[in-house]
Structures are given as C-alpha cells and as structure tokens.
Structure 1
C-alpha cells in the first residue's frame, strides 16, 4: 500500500530534533560509540514532519539509556532510491526503515538485511498479524512497528445536511449512490461526493484484497468491475477526474479537510494529521471513519493494507543493539509510543485500541470503532521478487485506463500481455 507522508507537527514539537542533537543526513557517517554506549543510525524520511519516529526513538532511549538513536534523514520523495544506492554502496547505517512490502521484497531478494527470524519466532503472532507479511521464502528480514489499512473517511456534517445515513457498512455500489447524493455545486466551488486518489492501489489493490486474486498472476479480468465503477463515478462527476487530480498533484488530506469531498477511502495514516490539524485549528471538519466499502455484501469487512517496519543492514557494526531496537519497536511499549500520536501500531491489543481512541479528537462513535477492527486485512501486493516489476506495469496501464487512453478491456489485456512478456518471460 502506498502512503503519502503528511506533516503532523502539531502532535509534537514541529522542530523535533534527534535525541542527542540534530538528525543526521544520509551522507553523515560521523556516528560513533563510546565505551558502554552505542549509537544506532536509523534511516528515516522527513524526520521533523514524521513524528512517529521521534516518539518511538524517545521511548526506546528512555528504556535503554545506553543506546542513542541518530536518525539518518532522507527526503520522502527520494527515500527508496537513496536507500537502494546506500545499500548497494556498502553503507553501514544500522537500521533501515522499510516503507512498503515492494521495497522489502527487493532488499530480501538481494540479502541486504540481517535474518531476524529468531526475533519473529519469539513474538506473539496473534497480536502482531503484520508479522507474517515479512515472510520471505521461509525467513524474516524485517519486523513491523505499524500496520496501516484502508478505511472510509467521511464528513459527518455533509452527510447530515444531505439527509444521507452514515456509511456504516456500504458496498461499493452503495458508495457510488451516496456520492451522487452528496455531490453539489460546480466549478471551483464544487463539492464532490467522494474523492478516489490517483494510486493504482485504490482500484487494483482493493479489488485484489476483496476478490482474493493475486496481482502477480497475469490475468486481470477481476479488476474490471472496480474500474467500471470508478470510471462511472468519474464520468458522472461525483469524483474528481483522475487526470485533473494527477496533473494538479491533489493532496487527499486537503480535499477532505477543506470540505471538497464528503468521502475519501484512504489508509489509517491519515488519522494522525487529522488529529493534529484539528488541534492546531487549521481545519474544522467533523469527521468519522467507517469500514471500507465492500464488493460483496456478506457482513464481513475485508480491507487492504500493509506494514511499515525496520530491517537491520547486514553491514551494521551494532547488530545486537539493532535487534534490541527491533524488539522494542514491536513490543507493547513501542506500540504505546506509536499510538500516542495517532499511528496504528503493529502490535494489537484491547489496551492499545483503548489508548488509541482516548486520543483527543478521535471519533467515539461505534462505526469508527468498527472500522478500526476489520475482519481481514489483506496485502494489495504479494511479497515476491517480481512484485516491483509487475507493479510498474500495472501502474502504467492504470494511468492509461483512468485517462481514457485505453478501454478497460484493452488495458487489462495489455497488463496481462506485458507481465507475461516483460517479467515472466512467457
């Protein structure tokens, strides 16, 4: 699942610094250890605007005062490319934050991380469902500290004003019907019933999760209904045109906070900035979350999502201390630190959920709490060596379908043909 990194600085001090000084950069190799003390260098993105890192690092340092964390700060837009270059060049940054499973598959395939299967086997898998996502050919090379999944954000005031019932458990067809009722106005003042972001995962990943299909298998007819629904809404004007959203680099957070759309399917990572912006007074949106709409109305909630985790660089000189950090990050104590700023931790328990919903500004209605506990969270892409290459093709064809450059049938057929010839050599 993709994730857009949004400033949530009102939750903690916006000028967040590292524990013992300013955050380092990817070119800073000055970290050193003194007798009895260790400095762990951890790659992060947009450190000052991503408060989960400081919250977790501070909590770990408090529990382990002889280990200091030095963030290696990298621009979010360049993060994956920079990490690839660092690892290929033998960089010794101790811990690599793994943004998504596509990147993880590449690191694991190249054996650039330390095998941490021993840590994984010692953890309560029933409380850390995302742990299984890091299984790569029977071994584990990263440990999750957070797990995000898609929910439906909705503007309670807009629903009430339009006389539309809260979206307690919608199908996608009902979602489209509600969007039509909620759409009003035109031009610059138009309010859309919904906003569906430009990522291919918002169509393809959701379809994969809710139909049980694998995007790495080169047959994509199962995406057709979800594309037809999305394009139908686009043609009806109840969601923003994909090409407009893409060319204007529309931020889904802004669309929702400014009241430009009544519903936004999006990951749980949006909760933290919504809480921060409400606290800062930069938005007054009265929001709630509901379960992600379903393809089939069977009473069960299936959504898509994925973990964010930490892997230990095989070139690290501090692997024992690094393992201690990974164990803390996934522990109940690490979960409390992450949840305290509105991030969904990988470790699940009733106490963590209770603490999460006790945050100032969190919706307290039963629908929001139900959305927070879906029946199933499935990956929108498998952990496999060819996932990245296949994902590139699927994204390219997604853009052509959404802009009308190809029909749905032609685009899906081209996906299958290209995956077979360009990736699978069939």
Structure 2
C-alpha cells in the first residue's frame, strides 16, 4: 500500500514539476544553516515551516503566531497556508506533493483521523513520545482527544468539535419538553415523535449519501468509548455489533413507523441540507458537529427566527457514563524529516494549550482551560453571530464541557469500499426492499469479502 501510494504521488509530483518548471521561484527551502540543526534545541534562531489547511479568517494565524514568537524569540514560524479557501482535500494533496519533492517540513496539521493515520503509516510523521515524557504529562488526561496510534503518539489535538444535538427551543416549549442534559437514544426517539407536527419533522439525518456522512450509520456505536468504527482496531469486522443493528433499527423505526424523521427519499431527491432544514424550521432537531457554534446565533445567509438550545449526544443505556460522541479536531504533528523536531514540538505544545486561548476561534481539546476561559471563548464565538441572545448559552457550555472523544481507530485503506456497501444496503432497507435481518446479513457478507481481499 505504501509503495503504491508513493508511486502515484511521485507521478503527480513530476507532472506538477513539469507544469511549474518555467514559473520561477517558489521552490526555495527555508531549511536554515547547519548550526540550526536541532541536536540540542539550542537558543540560536531557527525557522520552522508550518503547513496547514487553515486560512487566516478561520484560524487567526497572524495574532496566534505572533504571540508564540514573542514567548519563543529563538523560533520563527514560517506559515504555509495550503488552501486559501480552507479546502482540506486540496491542502492534503499539496502537502503530499511538498513531502514527495523534499521541501522543508516541520509542523503538519491534519484535519481528520484518516489523513493523520495514513500519513503516520507512510512515515511522514514523527513520534513525539519522548517530548511528552520530558514534559511529564499523560496525553489522555491532558487532552480530551486521545491521538494514540499503535502505542505511540504522533500528534497533539488542537480544537475540540464534538457532535451534539441542536434543538429548536420554541418547538420544545410548544411540545412541553425540557432541554435534555443527559439522555438515551430511546429518549431521543421519543422527543422526535413528540416534536413532529404537520409543519415539521422531529429530526433530520444528513446521511448516508454517496458513501459519505457515515456518522449517521454509527449512531449507537459512536456513543461508546471504544470500537466505534465499522472495522475494529484488530482489523476484524464490527458489523456484528448489536449497536450497528440498533442504529439500523432506530433509523427504520423513526422514518418508516414513527414518521418523525425527514424521509430519505426527500433528502436524496431534493438534495436537502442540514442548515436549511434546521434554520428553516423544517426539522426540530439535528445531530451535527459543533463546527456549527459559529452559526448558532444565525448568519446573513441563515437568519435565526427562533431560540436554540443544545443537548448532548445520546447514550445507549440510562446507567452508562455518557458524553462520548464523534469528535473532529486538528491533529498537530511534527514532520519525520524535520531538522528542528524539538522546536516544532514546542510550537504544537504551545498552540494546543495556551495558543488555543490566544487564537480564540475554537473550543480547545486541552483540559487545562478553566471554566471562565471556556465561557469567554464561547462568548467570543457567539458574538460573531447575528443574534447570540437567541442561543441557550448554558446548555451549549455544559455540552461542550462534558463531551468526550472515543478512542481513535486508524481508518483502513479500503474504508471507501465499506462505506459504499453500508450505503447501498441501507438504501435497500429504508426503501422497503429488504428487512433488518437481510440488511445485516448482506452487509456483513459483503464487508467480510472486502476485508478478506485486503488482508
């Protein structure tokens, strides 16, 4: 797999090099002089390259990096924004090309577990265990997101975007329902039924579609601490999990029996989107990631005409610990070929701790953030929306404070094939072509064949 990836990447690099050969410039490395090499992390000035998908408007880099350089005058950070529009796919492609062409790489930012795990497997990323040990902290206690892969750490987590349930508070009031602070999937289903009227559905599920948005096929799985993916860490299938079956049963009951969720046929045929469904009040609740924090109070494109509350991701059993939810973060890594690994680590450690507070754009994964600091960050985020007073701040803070990330399971190389199978078999179920048992049997058999073929 590794050989095939780099062969493809090399071919792409040669093509780009041919096209860019006459353009001039852009190819100079800022690797610095020999005395800058990072054997003892000396106090002599070094320059580290920071490659990121994040643009200035989303990440406030100028202010953030200036604050770091003020605290660390011997380290200059050369920012390389890989996509001005924040396109993570474009950024990842450009990063791979930079690696293949031998450009200086020091700090790398990955936007999702798949990109992170794959580059670790390809040897692009350095382990940082020795630095963590020197600093004397336990990553799983220091941060809300555990980034361990194969018993080593290759990244520190930046922002913390857990999934939650956005709720139309006006609809809750009309139905005589309280904002949940701790609830199960069964209670979620009951809420959706009670919230459904002639004018709107109780909830809206944005996936699966086109082999994507597969979070909506892992609903019950994602409420657990471990084994939340379709393939377990040991490479065996997880489609025999009762929680996968539970997810299928919930989706089928809510759409086909309770009529409390927007029909799948409408989602696909009308190309519906979760923002329109929620802000247009066509659905009382949506399960979605907390990247929506910046829009909760409404925007010019989606003005808010009602009050919004936030509920935690539901758990499977009433007595369960709860708080586990799908989480997105930025994986901050040190490049394997960096000549300044110590300085690169110093930057990612600072950035994922006090740097998150300086940046003020996202809720941090760092557990060292005080309640007051968290509240200030959230207030700052909401202040950027059109009508922040319409957001139930207390419920939002509570959910973000108590959410937890499940253990990372590195994605398999054939993940897209599995997603396609799940999507196809789910469609047969929800369109009435087969029942739950037939769906499970077909999914398990087709998935196992894919797994066997990739051993």
Q: TM-score, normalised by structure 1?
A: 0.77
Q: Measure, in 2, the Cα distance between the counterparts of 1:211 and 1:314.
A: 30
Corresponding position: 1:210 with 2:203: no
Assess if the C-alpha contact under 8 Å between 2:168 and 2:307 holds in 1. yes
Deviations 1:19-76 (A, max 9, x none): xxxxxxxx95456478976554333336155236566435434434552342322223
Deviations 1:108-143 (A, max 9, x none): 112111221123332353652346x32222322211
Match of 2:295 in 1: 273
Q: Measure, in 1, the Cα distance between the counterparts of 2:269 and 2:56.
A: 28
In the TM superposition, residue 158 of structure 1 has moved relative to its aligned partner by: 1.9
Corresponding position: 1:105 with 2:117: yes
Distance 1:47 1:284, change over 3 A: farther
Deviations 1:161-198 (A, max 9, x none): 3333323333222212222222234xxxx532112221
Corresponding position: 1:119 with 2:131: yes
In the TM superposition, residue 343 of structure 1 has moved relative to its aligned partner by: 3.0
Corresponding position: 1:421 with 2:449: yes
Corresponding position: 1:220 with 2:247: no
Q: In structure 2, which of residues 332, 349, 352 is the aligned counterpart of residue 327 of structure 1?
A: 349
In the TM superposition, residue 326 of structure 1 has moved relative to its aligned partner by: 0.8
Deviations 1:323-347 (A, max 9, x none): 221121122x123134x22434334
Q: Measure, in 1, the Cα distance between the counterparts of 2:320 and 2:289.
A: 21
Assess if the C-alpha contact under 8 Å between 2:159 and 2:364 holds in 1. yes
Distance 1:52 1:293, change over 3 A: farther
Distance 1:348 1:290, change over 3 A: farther
Pairs within 5 Å for 1:206-355: 206-210=220-224, 212-213=226-227, 215-216=230-231, 217-221=236-240, 222=242, 223-235=244-256, 236-246=258-268, 250-274=272-296, 277=298, 282-298=303-319, 300-306=321-327, 307-331=329-353, 333-338=354-359, 340-351=360-371, 352-355=373-376
- Secondary structure, counterpart of 2:412 in structure 1: helix
Distance 1:378 1:62, change over 3 A: same
Distance 1:161 1:59, change over 3 A: farther
Q: Measure, in 1, the Cα distance between the counterparts of 2:31 and 2:177.
A: 61
- Secondary structure, counterpart of 1:388 in structure 2: coil
Q: TM-score, normalised by structure 2?
A: 0.73
Q: Measure, in 2, the Cα distance between the counterparts of 1:206 and 1:52.
A: 36
Assess if the C-alpha contact under 8 Å between 1:143 and 1:309 holds in 2. yes
Distance 1:377 1:234, change over 3 A: same
* Structure possessing the higher radius of gyration over alpha carbons: 2
In the TM superposition, residue 382 of structure 1 has moved relative to its aligned partner by: 0.9
- Secondary structure, counterpart of 2:262 in structure 1: coil
How many residue pairs align between the two structures? 388
Distance 1:357 1:70, change over 3 A: closer
Match of 2:399 in 1: 371
Assess if the C-alpha contact under 8 Å between 1:94 and 1:322 holds in 2. yes
- Secondary structure, counterpart of 1:373 in structure 2: helix
Assess if the C-alpha contact under 8 Å between 2:220 and 2:316 holds in 1. no
In structure 2, list runs of 5 or more residues that go unmatched. 1-24, 34-43, 208-212
Pairs within 5 Å for 1:165-176: 165-176=178-189
Assess if the C-alpha contact under 8 Å between 1:170 and 1:294 holds in 2. yes
In the TM superposition, residue 400 of structure 1 has moved relative to its aligned partner by: 1.5
Q: Measure, in 1, the Cα distance between the counterparts of 2:356 and 2:363.
A: 9
Q: Measure, in 2, the Cα distance between the counterparts of 1:52 and 1:260.
A: 34
Assess if the C-alpha contact under 8 Å between 2:225 and 2:405 holds in 1. no
User: What do you get for the CA RMSD once the two structures are aligned?
Assistant: 3.4
In structure 1, list runs of 5 or more residues that go unmatched. 1-26
Match of 1:161 in 2: 174
- Secondary structure, counterpart of 1:370 in structure 2: helix
In the TM superposition, residue 358 of structure 1 has moved relative to its aligned partner by: 4.3
